[in-house]
Chain A
């Protein structure tokens, strides 16, 4: 298999039944695989809820390692809208020119510091660094804080041998508790303080609610951004003409960003808990069981995307669900899109070619399916232009 190829393991099941099955810590998941079903189900929050026990809609389930409800992610309408409206303006800041300029400087500086370096660890010494530094902008906190997050490594939420590791997760939760206390003692101009000063339905957010937003912000954008960055590097290494094309046609960098998000689908799926006996794809789905919205499968649905298994950099119409769909679409998408657009633009300006020197694929085991979502290890060399 080519290094930059991300096969679609769902094709046969998507066509045959539209469903897949996987177990997850004795709480099985019925996976919805078709674009139309995924979008419809994402929209139907009454029958397919997010506001179940904290951690249950995540796959692998986090119910055993987390009690804090992630906000607005694990809240259903109408309360969801209250929280979402509160945080949305803050998460749209990446559209501002000053934000883009700062992000661009960070990413260009990072590329300058690693270009022509032999055997660069594209995950630990590049993607993680890029993601952590960019997060300081999203939270509006000092750049130096990124050093702490980088020191945690890539696996704060995921250990080498098991998908979940409570001890490592607690590093993040304890850190956030500490930062909330600091922000209470000395108010700042960052997301912590903004949340602590906010009200929902006339009541100030509690510490637990603030923590819920912060955990979501840290966890939601870590592996996903890292996968998007490293997978893009692997892609350009094997498709030098694509990098040349974007150099010549920078106006399609936005389209290319959407296409990479579709093709890589950095988050494979997200769960929902069924609230009443119902049907999905003509099969019974019982109350209190789980279904998942399989973004990765929906994004390869040939009924929606021509040549779905190919990267078409200038794909014009691309209704992908790589950032989810409906009420709960990705809160960090604006930030993630700017990262990808600026990262690709910086590569076209500074890098002539990329070589993959070594790699180990990260394959998710999803019941009957095995899906490549990224790399556990990727060593590269970026050659200056």
Chain B
């Protein structure tokens, strides 16, 4: 079981728990504002964009090539950007704090 905290664009902190699947799916289940996950997690819509903290990025790594291709044309993207559909929930993610981009 991993505890994952989303920080929405309104500054609201929402902590939810999950044990499998993608972070995007967990966010959609919990109606996290700003994460729509329109494409269901196949990396084609970029509606699940989040920012890692520098510490979390160090721990779990940055965007994959396919995420970078999606994100390189997003004006809001930076080195801490990830698409949360590509983050699989595991114990490694426990305690992670994700700033929702939208």
Binding site for B on A (CB under 8 A): 39-40, 43, 92, 95, 254-255, 257-258, 315-323, 325-326, 329, 333-334, 337
Contact = CB atoms under 8 A, between A and B. Distances in A.
Nearest to A258: B42
Contacts of A319: 42-44, 66, 69-70
Contacts of B44: 258, 318-323
Contacts of B43: 317-319
Contacts of B40: 254-255, 257-258, 337
17 contacts: A39-B69, A39-B73, A40-B73, A254-B39, A254-B40, A254-B41, A254-B42, A255-B40, A258-B40, A258-B44, A317-B42, A317-B43, A318-B43, A321-B44, A323-B45, A325-B73, A333-B38
A326 B73 contact: yes
Contacts of A329: 45
B102 to A, nearest CB: 10
Contact of A258 (B36, B39, B66, B70): B39
Nearest to B40: A254
Given A319-B43, A319-B70, A322-B44, 4 more contacts: A39-B69, A318-B44, A325-B73, A333-B45
A334 to B, nearest CB: 6
Residue of B39, B43, B70 with highest tally of chain A CB at under 10 A:
B39
A77 B36 CA distance: 23
A39 B45 CA distance: 12
Interface in B48-102: 66, 69-70, 73
A68 B18 CA distance: 49
Contacts of B42: 254-255, 258, 315-319
B21 to A, nearest CB: 10
Given A39-B73, A40-B73, A326-B73, A95 B66 contact: no
B66 A317 contact: yes
Given A254-B41, A255-B42, A319-B43, A95 B73 contact: no
Contact of B36 (A95, A318, A320, A323): A95
Nearest to A39: B73
Nearest to A259: B42
Contacts of B69: 39, 319
B66 A334 contact: no
A257 B73 CA distance: 25
B4 to A, nearest CB: 20
A315 B69 CA distance: 18
Given A258-B42, A315-B42, A319-B44, A92 B66 contact: no
A337 B39 CA distance: 8
B53 to A, nearest CB: 25
Given A317-B66, A319-B43, A320-B44, A337 B73 contact: no
Nearest to A325: B73
A325 B44 CA distance: 9
Contacts of A317: 42-43, 66
A315 B43 CA distance: 11
Contact of A334 (B38, B70, B73): B38
A326 B77 CA distance: 13
B77 to A, nearest CB: 12
B52 to A, nearest CB: 20
Contacts of B38: 333-334, 337
Nearest to B39: A258
Contacts of B36: 92, 95, 334
10 closest cross-chain pairs (CB), A and B: A254-B40, A318-B42, A43-B73, A258-B42, A319-B44, A317-B43, A319-B43, A320-B44, A318-B44, A317-B66
A85 B39 CA distance: 20
Nearest to B75: A43
A319 B66 CA distance: 8
Contacts of A254: 39-42
Nearest to B73: A43
Nearest to B70: A319
A294 B36 CA distance: 26
Contacts of A326: 73
A325 B70 CA distance: 10
B10 to A, nearest CB: 15
A319 B73 CA distance: 13
Nearest to B64: A317
Interface in B17-44: 36, 38-44
Nearest to B69: A319
B46 to A, nearest CB: 9
